[in-house]
Structure 1
Amino acid sequence: MTKQSSPYAAAQGAKTVTLSVQSWVGAQSNTAVAAYLLEHELGYRVDTVQVDEVPAWDALSQGRIDAIMEDWGHPEQEKRYVDDKKTVVRGGELGLTGHIGWFVPTYFAEQHPDVTDWKNLDKYADRLGTAESRGKGQLLDGSPSYVTNDKALVKNLGLDFEVVFAGSEAAQITQIKQFTKERKPFLTYWYQPQWLFRQVPMTEVKLPEWKEGCDADPEKVACAYPHTPLQKFLNADFAAKGGKAASFLKKFRWTAEDQNEVALMIAEEKLSPEEAARRWVERNEEVWRAWTR
């Protein structure tokens, strides 16, 4: 992280903003649009740093980055840096509600409706297995750095499944598309909002109901993932002294449809994040104009 950190972050008098950008394309979309508007409407230089979710909090606290645009819920870090150290402040909601879950392709769910209840998953373990799942059913995850309770869930629900990490969102999408092309069944960790649902219809598997505190102990969790209003966080000094840039980031708020529009351009049309942002900005002035005032 030291090597990656921007030399411009927290530089005295420099009209520069440093944003954390996570590896999934939805988060890249937020950062791309924020960076484009900061540069072209507000006259800032923007630097981006790709860093995993938990290390990003430490970087934010130290002022090596100025803002995280999309946080999916890190209560330990929030308590440490926001409530206790007060080096990070809440930047408001992004406007999207995130939800992680287990999904099967809709074509398989329509053929076998009972697969959408976790209690019936073992019945299909053989059909959902791969060479990587060591004789068990496969639960396909993305990166180990993402928010995931899946290993604990499989263990605590007593399921005959193996969690297999694709390594990244892009690798996971490639695998899902390949399964879909071959009309094979699969079980995957996935999340909403996400543009892939437009191309690969998936149906959520019902896990035990989420209730407050049911996931407090990561080793004992045996419930579904919550629905989480996604949040922004700012370095406390930047929030106080960052002027129009800090104000802009606090006001930045859009919809899942907005994010998916940009994400689709980046992931499928293979546009650069800056070009995708430019196209979205040109079409949606009525959305972003209020952020820059």
Structure 2
Amino acid sequence: MKTINVLQGAGLGLALMLAATAAGQSADLGAKDEPIKLAMLEWTGAHVSTHIAGQLMEKLGYKVEYVTAGNFPQFSGLADGSLSASVEIWLNNVGDIYPKVLAAKQIEDVGKLDLKTQEGWIYPKFMEKVCPGLPDWNALNKPECVQALATPETAPNGRFLDYPSDWGSRAATILADNNMPYTAVPSGSEGALVAELEAAEAAKTPLIMMFWGPHYALAENDVGWVTMPPCKQQTNEHCITPPDVDKIVWSGFGAKWPAAYAFLKAFKMDATEQQKLMLAVDKQGKDLDAVVKEWIDKNEAVWKPWLDAAKG
């Protein structure tokens, strides 16, 4: 009888210990039944990063929702908690609201995405014959270059193809700072930017435009990057440099979803890998979720440390 009681006591102790461990794990997840709402921005690279993060958080035991959000409007949603997180914020293009809500501690920056970036002015390589002297920016001021780039809507100025209006425009400021005879014309979308680049390459139509990397279009079109004009003022509006890309969460995120918070702090995105996935989605017409799942299935060695960091 005594032996049985001891075994029963040991069994009870083990059960209590397992229950406590399970409770601890559950607490680490936090509000796992409330969905984490991830901002889905306009460009495919952000879709890739966001869905990789989302599928991995689902592996942790969370519910995830993807919410379409504009590049600037997202910060209002992150500030009030209607959006939970945004995993690919290009810090060179955040508008006026971002620094305000960051200073007010309504949002939190949880670190670099480690995405190797490029940004600036590009042109199809054949433009080096149209504007001798490229990639030096001074070549764009030569009359024959300006004339080649002029259109009925911009003449006598050359046409500069800019980002969509709601992304914010620095190109127009830089053109004005350096008295360059160009008119910045906003594109309608990312797709429109790429379509113009491809059309210019195919028809050998002169083009100068704002662009960024990583992007699948850079793997399929031979482009040059302009050596940029000098910065007149050392601000984001007057200078273009390869931007940092950070991960931003609602200020209450860490307390509400502790394991997801630890995961997002550890989460990284390799530019070369992202570009491959973008190519599969945008040019090969593959389903985003399927492409991301295939990458996750093949790259456990990459993402397992992020989940391990989340589990503590």
- Regarding TM over 0.5, the answer is yes
1:142 is aligned to: 163
Partner of 2:63: 45
Mapped pair 1:257 → 2:272: yes
On the 8 A contact 1:72/1:98 being kept in 2, the answer is no
Would you say the 8 A contact 2:159–2:182 is kept in 1?
A: yes
Structure 2 CA distance for aligned equivalents of residues 31 and 132 of structure 1: 38
| TM norm structure 2 | 0.81
Alignment correspondent of 1:168: 189
* Contact map agreement 1:93 1:230 (CA 8 A) in 2: yes
CA distance in 2, matches of 1:267, 1:132: 30
Counterpart in the other structure of 2:85: 67
Note closer, same or farther for the CA distance 1:25–1:132 as it changes in structure 2 (3 Å cut).
Answer: farther
* Letter paired with 1:203: G
SS in 2 for 1:140: strand
Deviations 1:185-240, CA, capped at 9 Å, x for gaps:
210100122221110121111222458x5226x4xx3xx40222211111111122
Residue type of the alignment partner of 1:215? T
Structure richer in helix, relative to its length: 2
Q: What residue in structure 1 maps to residue 116 of structure 2?
A: 97
Gaps of 5+ in 1: 1-10
Query: Does the C-alpha gap of structure 1 residues 104 and 238 become closer, same or farther in structure 2, counting only changes over 3 Å?
Result: same
Taking the TM superposition and a 5 Å limit, the aligned residue runs for 1:179-198 are 179-198=200-219
Secondary structure in 2 matching 1:289: helix
Question: Amino acid of the residue matched to residue 63 of structure 2?
Answer: R
Structure with the higher strand share, 1 or 2: 1
Aligned counterpart in structure 1 of residue 261 of structure 2, from 240, 246, 258: 246
Matched with 1:287 is 302
Deviation at 1:155, TM superposition (A): 1.9
Secondary structure of the corresponding residue to residue 48 of structure 2: helix
In 1, are the aligned partners of 2:130 and 2:148 still within 8 Å (CA)? no
2: CA distance between counterparts of 1:274 and 1:67?
A: 19
Partner of 1:234: 249
Structure number, greater radius of gyration: 2
Q: Name which of structure 1's ranges 273-282 and 12-21 shifts more when overlaid on structure 2.
A: 12-21
Q: Unaligned 5+ residue runs, structure 2?
A: 1-29
| Equivalent residue, structure 1, for 2:37 | 18
Contact 1:103 1:187 in 2 (8 A): yes
Shift of 1:13: 6.0
Residue in 2 aligned with 1:29? 48
Count residues in correspondence: 275
Q: 1:139 Cα shift?
A: 0.9
- Residue in 2 that maps onto 1:80: 100
- Cα RMSD of the aligned pairs, angstroms, is 2.2
**Partner Cα distance (1:116, 1:128) in 2:** 16
CA deviation map 1:83-124 (0-9, x unaligned): 3x2121111101113332111112322674413222221320
Structure 1 residue aligned with 2:138: 119
Q: 2:226 aligned with 1:205, yes or no? A: yes
Partner Cα distance (2:172, 2:294) in 1: 40
Query: Structure 1 vs Structure 2: percent identity of aligned residues?
Result: 24
SS at match of 2:49: helix
Instruction: Tell me which amino acid in the other structure corresponds to 2:177.
Output: N
Distance 1:100 1:107, change over 3 A: same
Mapped contact 1:72–1:147 kept (Cα < 8 A): no
Task: Provide TM-score, normalisation by structure 1.
Answer: 0.86
More displaced, 236-245 or 67-76? Answer: 67-76
Give the partner amino acid of 1:80.
Answer: K
1:21–1:48 contact (8 Å) kept in structure 2? yes
Q: Contact (CA 8 Å) 2:32, 2:61: kept in 1 or not? A: no
